[in-house]
A and B are shown apart, each in its own frame.
Chain A
Amino acid sequence: MSARIHIEAVSKTYPVRTSLFSRRRELAALRGVSLRIEAGTTLGLVGESGSGKSTLARLVMGAENADAGKISIDGRDVRAGLPRAADAWLRRTLQPVLQDPYGALNPRMTVAETVGEPLHIQRQGSRAEIAARVRELLELVGLSAALATSLPVALSGGQRQRVAIARALSISPRVLILDEPVSALDMSVQAQVINLLQDLQDRLGLTYLLISHDLAVVAHLSTHIAVLYLGQVVEAGDRNAVIRTPRHPYTRSLIAAAEPGGEVEAIQGEMPSPLAPPSGCPFHPRCPQAVSECRSTPPALRRISGTHLAACHLADSAQETAA
């Protein structure tokens, strides 16, 4: 049921105008990102707004094409404008669950219609078979069958997100792209949906690409974590390695911001505009440890141990700080 995703040296640039009369400029949203997600695991992507995490999700969904690099699922190419059969395969393999459970549902469609629609479109079964499958899906996501005839307006935020998840699961995809799946939910409901996502992965062997600005949510749900900064992966590895022994100063600052009582110094300033990325290491203007090498030479993403990677000139000396 699961799938393996390869992202190889992917870059994406958007032309933008900063004002009506200025010349077009290039915004490098992703710069040579390589990641792999093993079947049945969860890769959590963390980064601030403008880091490129949503762009990467759009590329993996085949909503847009990369300018360079390659994305594949189980060895099959993912891109926009695939031939009809390959495109249908991609839609069946991968489904998104988005942040806003209010905007994601058609207000005029009942819960059962919403959940069953992808099955009708993909012509998977007769009316009766689809109705049975919808009942099964509602039970799977913990929604009472009594809600099948309700309209979204009658549902709470948590129930809507469950409907969105049931719909995404209707055609038995193997990969879910989870873009901020719980940020719009209240605290007590957020925990219910986090647990549901974990249960579904255990039961169905799904592969997740999880995008969130909330490191605690990412740490909780992910088996692997990648930290994006200005369109580049600055640290990646299995969850425990990244959270317990972070090697990049930016990762350490994110952990400090998420952990009560964390006493690592707060980094200064804000992420520079992707229109004018700094020279050398993209993080150097905010880095408390930056040395002259960081201002001139971009650090390569290199292996620290096992699968743990970090792009920092000082990653080795950082080991003592973290320990």
Chain B
Amino acid sequence: MSPLLHVETLRIAAGPHAPALVDGISLELDRGKALGLVGESGAGKTLACLALLRLLPEGLHIQDGRIRLDGQELTALTDTEMRRLRGGRIGMVLQNPLSSLNPLMRIGDQIGEAFAVHRGVRWRTALWKLAVEALRAVRIPTPEQRVSAYAHQFSGGMRQRVAITMNIACAPDLLIADEPTTALDATIRLQVLRLLGDIRRERRMALILVTHDLPMVARFCDDVAVMYAGRIVERGPVEAIFANPAHPYTRGLIGATPRLDGRRRLATIAGQPPSPGSIASGCAFASRCDVADAGCRQGRIDLLDLGEQRAAACRKPFARPPAEAAA
């Protein structure tokens, strides 16, 4: 069976000769699966997702590559066709729910809009009835009263639930959630993530979770793709990668994550993430890497198949620095 989403060598830049902000990434995602897309700011996670929706910021373009959803080539669609797809077959939830809600519209009308646009439902009573059901599905208490409220009358966690409701109202095949819980408090974050997990299983919806929170990916995703400087440097099943990361950057991120068990010292990655276009050749991570050698600074280092559905863009996968290997 072919995957639901198939991205091939996607490249995003301001022009054909400008430095690539997303540099030839490839991804596959099956129906009902969750992929965690992790990386630091500027790694290109959000741009890659916006490209899937064809919503790149002014001036940036898909320079190369293919995006197929259920066999349909998205890069070839007209704007009108694309508009029908967004909110229909693909949903997107953003970090700040306030920015995706209209402050002047009642919640029922906002959720109803999705049914009006994508299902052709006309009457407000019918739309509100659908909205009440949709709110109930995301476990909002007393949805009959809540449909007539405005966004400002909702708490942060409830707003994010409403934003999720709007985006899953038409049963999308794919939901892209970009840092959906970063603005929320810890206990609310867990509630929203569990809700997303339940919906995904109930509806066999595929989920791309963009985040910098590794424990969250370990807990809620099947697969993970780690991005660095516009490339995917490692991808594969979550459990295998967290147990034994192949790329030194993935290993560094896992070691840098504070944990409740309170080790006294965190592993660190020296230096800062590079700015786009500053890496001329070789591996973008080489200057911060603890196992890099001269060969890592030349040519282009592509994803290398490691078997068991894993791949890493590293000449020395699974290598450890001498001190650590001895310990």
Contact = CB atoms under 8 A, between A and B. Distances in A.
Q: Do A and B come from one complex?
A: yes
Interface of A: 48-49, 156, 158-159, 186-192, 194-195, 198, 213-217, 219-220, 239-240, 243, 253-261, 266-271
A155 to B, nearest CB: 10
A216 B257 contact: yes
A186 B41 contact: yes
Contact of B272 (A156, A198, A257, A270): A156
Contact of B186 (A48, A219, A220): A48
Interface string B175-203: 00000000001111111001000000000
A217 B214 CA distance: 14
Interface in B147-186: 155, 157-158, 185-186
A158 B272 contact: yes
Contacts of B268: 188, 191-192, 195
A259 B41 CA distance: 24
B247 to A, nearest CB: 13
B272 A260 contact: no
A187 B254 CA distance: 9
Interface in B248-300: 252-253, 255-269, 272-273
Interface of B: 40-41, 141, 155, 157-158, 185-191, 194, 212, 214-216, 218-219, 252-253, 255-269, 272-273
Nearest to B189: A257
B187 A190 contact: no
A290 to B, nearest CB: 16
A106 B263 CA distance: 36
A270 B256 contact: no
Given A48-B186, A188-B269, A257-B186, A219 B264 contact: no
A219 B260 contact: yes
* Interface pairs A-B: 5 shortest CB-CB: A191-B256, A48-B185, A220-B258, A186-B40, A188-B269
Contacts of B255: 191
A93 B24 CA distance: 53
Contacts of B155: 270
Contact of A188 (B188, B215, B253): B253
B273 A239 contact: no
Given A187-B253, A189-B272, A191-B267, A254 B258 contact: no
A261 B214 CA distance: 12
Contacts of A214: 186, 258
B259 A48 contact: no
B44 to A, nearest CB: 14
Given A186-B41, A191-B266, A191-B268, A267 B259 contact: no
B11 to A, nearest CB: 24
B245 to A, nearest CB: 14
Most buried by A among B190, B259, B265: B190
A84 B86 CA distance: 62
Contacts of A219: 258-262
14 contacts: A186-B273, A188-B269, A191-B258, A195-B268, A198-B265, A216-B260, A217-B258, A219-B260, A243-B262, A257-B190, A258-B260, A266-B194, A269-B141, A270-B185
B301 to A, nearest CB: 20
